[in-house]
A and B are shown apart, each in its own frame.
Chain A
């Protein structure tokens, strides 16, 4: 039982592979994504950050536009956009497989690609999903089987400096206490993701 309880507070194993795509400036296959710099839209005094989200099958729909906005805004808050005037940063995400926590995964993948592309950033962001079950338990990073027991799903994204909240997304209804509980749990778990980032950079960086 103790193992069970602990299991609910552990993130699933994460994998990442960089440079799976040859053309863009930086790519990361966490579930594959890439980011590239190219002049497209033009803002004179800073960079224009845009995200393109492609679902696994079919054309992008209205719901995917919301995802694009979420990912694009979350990334643009960290990028030092004034360093890149008249530049457009396109973050192109392709969904490969969805086993729960898609939004959080997309944000993390976007950030890994941004790290790899070498764009200057103020801070990094780690996104964590958690679910609230029908018997009022908060479980971290639920997979598709566990999501079925959850009435609510919450996604938080934290910055790497003060662990402040960069982005929040939610579905379902929840009380303020449940929200607080989920927030503190996700905040703790975000550390693990920052460690994961750090290890990856250690592994892939050729000279430090």
Chain B
């Protein structure tokens, strides 16, 4: 019976739950879903991680390649994040070129890397104007069940922590490169942690929304905290929020940081 009710009146179904301060999956309104993290899941990649937040799962693989730096920034390497929301993750997505949502997610991940300064792209440069590393960070969503941006950032940061790059020697005279077998871990300068809230019925805030909640929500807000500082507050339209509601989102995002960092550290320790 509940299933039919949910299909016919999805909004009312959710509203009935929220009236009792509980969500359809049994969580409180501001409770987060349990997270699971596995690092070094892909042995052929230079760094990888698999993240599960509730049913949302994202796998991140990082591949390092050598390239020539851009002429305008000869002393910097590149980081190229790419979020893939494939049809296997949700019936919302169709095969073909990246959907708008995937493009927006890729850009968001790129902005977070840039704003948080978690990697100094100067470290990726081997020989200025000649040789630099490109880190292709492929984030594939395996199951789309809301808060994908949070999962992407977590997977990316965990994967970046496992990246080690081989030492490279460059011969200026012959312009040849020799890749050695010794590997050096990549230096990570900060750890951004992202937290998403959904706004339902213009006033109720739901932490870490599922896909169903996101679809019915009138807006989302994503806060990224890095080393005690805010590095992104992203609210692309939707219902207006009061200042106190916004502050609540920021506070919860800050409080969540330690648990997420603990998870990453535990996963890294257990795998090494």
Contact with B along A77-109 (1 / 0, CB 8 A): 100000000000000000000000000000000
Check if A70 sits within 8 Å of B237, measured CB to CB: yes
Interface residues of B in 185-240 (CB under 8 A from A): 218-219, 221, 226, 228-240
Tell me the chain A residues, 152-208 only, with Cβ under 8 Å from chain B. 154, 157-159, 162, 164-176, 179, 183
- Residue among B107, B114, B116 facing the most chain A CB atoms (10 A cut-off): B107
Contact A175 B229 (CB under 8 A): yes
Q: A65-B103, A171-B111 are contacts. A176–B230 as well, Cβ < 8 Å? A: yes
Interchain CB contact under 8 A, B232 and A76: no
| Cβ-based interface call for B128 (8 A) | no
Which residues 61-81 in A have Cβ within 8 Å of B in the complex? Answer: 62-63, 65-66, 68-77
Given contacts A77-B218, A162-B240, A167-B236, contact A173 B229 (CB under 8 A): yes
Least Cβ–Cβ distance between B52 and chain A, in angstroms:
26
Any chain A CB within 8 A of the CB of B115?
yes
Q: Are A73 and B237 in contact (CB under 8 A)?
A: yes
Nearest B residue to A183, CB-CB: B243
Q: Is the CB of B100 closer than 8 A to any CB of chain A?
A: yes
Contact of B233 with A73 in the complex, beta carbons under 8 Å: no
> Could you say which of B104, B237, B238, B242 contacts A65, with CB atoms under 8 Å apart?
B104
In the complex, chain B residues 90-149 whose Cβ is within 8 Å of any chain A Cβ = 100, 103-104, 106-108, 111, 114-117
Cα of A163 to Cα of B230 in the assembled complex, Å:
23
Interface residues of B: mostly helix, strand, loop or mixed?
mixed
A172 contacts across to B, CB distance below 8 A: 115, 231
Q: Is B250 an interface residue (CB 8 A)?
A: yes
Select one of B229, B237, B246 contacting A77, CB under 8 A. Answer: B237
Residues of A within 8 Å of B226, CB to CB, are 173
Contact A73 B234 (CB under 8 A): no
Chain A residues with CB below 8 A from B108, complex form = 66
Contact: A171 with B115, CB < 8 Å?
yes
Candidates B103, B116, B117; contact of A62 at CB < 8 Å: B103
Q: Are B219 and A77 in contact (CB under 8 A)?
A: yes
Q: Are A77 and B230 in contact (CB under 8 A)?
A: no
Closest to B117 in A: A173
Q: From known contacts A165-B240, A165-B241, A183-B243, infer whether A170 and B107 are also in contact, taking CB-CB under 8 Å.
A: no
Q: Would you call B232 and A164 a contact (CB within 8 A)?
A: no
The answer on a CB contact under 8 Å between A66 and B235 is no
Per the bound structure, the CA–CA distance linking A174 and B227 in Å amounts to: 11
Determine which of B230, B237, B241 lies in contact with A174 in the assembled complex, contact meaning CB atoms within 8 Å: B230
In-complex Cβ contact of B238 among A63, A66, A77, A176 (8 A): A77
Determine the chain B residues whose CB is within 8 A of the CB of A159 once the complex forms: 240
Chain A residue contacts of B235, Cβ below 8 A = 165-169
Taking a contact as CB atoms under 8 Å apart, the answer to whether B107 and A74 are in contact is no
Q: Are B218 and A69 in contact (CB under 8 A)?
A: no
Q: Per a CB cutoff under 8 Å, which of A75, A158, A179 touches B237? A: A75
Question: A171 CA to B250 CA in the complex, in Å?
Answer: 16
List the A side residues contacting B116 at CB < 8 Å.
173
Q: How far is the CB of B272 from chain A (nearest CB, A)?
A: 29
Bound form: Cα–Cα A171–B238 in Å: 20
Partner of B236, one of A62, A63, A73: A73
Taken together as a complex, chains A and B put the C-alpha atoms of A183 and B241 apart, in Å, by: 13
Cβ–Cβ < 8 Å partners of A174 in chain B: 229-231
Q: For B229, give the chain A residue with the smallest CB separation.
A: A173
Query: Which residues of the other chain, A, contact B106 by a CB distance below 8 angstroms?
Result: 62
Given known A174-B230, A175-B229, contact A74–B236 (CB-CB < 8 A): yes
Are the CB atoms of A65 and B229 closer together than 8 Å? Answer: no
Not counting A62-B107, A162-B242, a sample of 9 additional A-B residue pairs whose C-beta atoms are within 8 angstroms of each other reads A65-B103, A66-B108, A69-B104, A69-B236, A77-B238, A165-B242, A166-B238, A168-B235, A170-B115
Tell me the B residues contacting A by CB distance below 8 Å: 100, 103-104, 106-108, 111, 114-117, 218-219, 221, 226, 228-243, 246, 250
Which residues of A line the B interface, CB within 8 A?
62-63, 65-66, 68-77, 123, 154, 157-159, 162, 164-176, 179, 183
